Amino acid sequence: MSEEIAERPLNAVSQKMLLSPKNPNHQKRGKNQMKYRHIFGPVSSHRLGRSLGIDLIPYKTCSYNCVYCECGETTIQTIERSTFIPEDEVMEELRCILSTSPQLDSVTFAGSGEPTLSLSIGNVIAMVKEEFPQYITSVLTNGSLLTRSHIGQAGDI
């Protein structure tokens, strides 16, 4: 984690939007998956095959506000990285699912915003790679933060 970018707590708007019914990823969840707050799918992806989605970002937090975005208008437009969601919660959900050895082609960091805004993404990817090396991990990113030297280094993404 870079020292130049401070971690900030999840603000009230972010907390509210994280579980918003407007979040299409929450709408994709079936009844059996309601217990998972940060994981959706698996969904069938043309590019990635059978893809389990991990959403580390409150709806709809992004560095861009693309007119064609399937998630709708950006609610929080920012380039400030943050720990939006308790890392332990996401890891616990992932361990719960991946320990059952589901048939997946990819564990995919995506969802309702730009995943590299999450300061937790590197640690969560590292956990998956270490504990479940049989799975490929993917990050669906708009790339806007990848020019920052501290993102893209091993140990972050």
CB of 57 to ligand SF4, least distance (A): 9
CB of 99 to ligand SF4, least distance (A): 30
Q: Residue 146, interface with ligand SF4 (CB under 6 A)?
A: no
d(CA 23, CA 5): 27
Residues 6 or more apart whose CB falls under 8 angstroms from that of 68 comprise: none
Q: Residue 114, interface with ligand SF4 (CB under 6 A)?
A: yes
Q: Name the one range near ligand SF4 by CB under 6 A: 26-34, 57-65, 78-86, 126-134.
A: 57-65
CB of 43 to ligand SF4, least distance (A): 16
Over 45-99, what HEC string results? Answer: ECCCEEEEEECCCCCCEECCCCCCCCCCCCCEECCCCECCCCHHHHHHHHHHHHC
Q: Which residues bind ligand SF4 (CB under 6 A)?
A: 62, 64-66, 69, 71, 74, 113-114, 142
